[in-house]
Structure 1
Amino acid sequence: MNKKVYISGAIAHYDLGERKAAFADAEKVLKRMGFEPVNPFKNGLPEEAHWREHMRADIALLLECDYIYMLKDWELSKGAKLELDVASSCGIKVLFEVTLNV
């Protein structure tokens, strides 16, 4: 399969270490599922770059993907909402992280 999948989720206003770990965990899960994950934390920009710069780089990465993977609580993020809108508008298939409350 080896389809590229962009990982999207809330980052700003959260603990950066926790967010990096969540995105890295998603990367591992997606690899096990046979996908080629694209992690926006690896967009080539320094962490301190402006949000707009990150969004431009991230959307460029997204547009090269077959899928977008929305991490839980993505709805809390302006950037993730924008990424989902771009993906939907461009025919990129959407996957959602499923969490079970058992």
Structure 2
Amino acid sequence: MTGEVLYLSGPMTGLPGFNYPAFNAEAARLRALGYTVENPAENPEPTCKSWAGYMRIGLLQLLRCNVIVLLPGWQGSRGARIERFIARILDMRIVYAGEI
């Protein structure tokens, strides 16, 4: 175990299955390597069922982490760009999926 807590960030909106298979596969791979992973694809649906509700949950997760892992296509996701921006401000390590 490295002590690092990783947050997965990437596109969801408009993708089949909200891209959960890609999130879940990367979470499983990283966990098998001994990392603690915060995976927004595992979150319950917020009561409001809105994009903002999902983002609020995800941002709370992000703040508990010290590394953000960007999944393919993150650049096209408004939420992932916001998460990356916050990670940069907080001096978190930013890596791309597959680099670990």
- What is the TM-score normalised by the length of structure 1? 0.86
- Taking the TM superposition and a 5 Å limit, the aligned residue runs for 1:20-99 are 20-46=20-46, 49-98=49-98
- The number of residues matched between the two structures is 98
- When the two chains are superposed, the root-mean-square deviation of aligned CA atoms in Å is 2.0
Which runs of 5 or more residues in structure 1 are unaligned? none
Q: Take 2:96 and 2:12, find their aligned partners in 1: how far apart are those partners?
A: 17
Once residues 71 and 64 of structure 1 are traced to their aligned partners in structure 2, the CA distance between those partners, rounded to angstroms, is 19
Q: Which residue of structure 1 aligns with residue 14 of structure 2? A: 13
Aligned partner letter, 1:11: M
8 A contact 1:72–1:98 mirrored in 2: no
Counterparts of 1:98 and 1:35, CA distance in 2: 14
Between the aligned residues of both structures, percent identity stands at 26
Q: Distance in 1 between matches of 2:86 and 2:57?
A: 13
User: 2:24, 2:41 within 8 Å by CA — same for their partners in 1?
Assistant: no
Alpha-carbon shift at residue 33 of structure 1 (Å): 2.4
Query: Which runs of at least 4 in structure 1 moved beyond 6 Å after TM superposition?
Result: none
Q: Which runs of 5+ in 2 are unaligned?
A: none
Distance 1:28 1:52 in 2: 26
Structure 2 length-normalised TM: 0.87
User: What do the CA deviations read for 1:45-102 (whole angstroms, capped 9, x no partner)?
Assistant: 3497100011111011101001000001111100000000011111111110249xxx
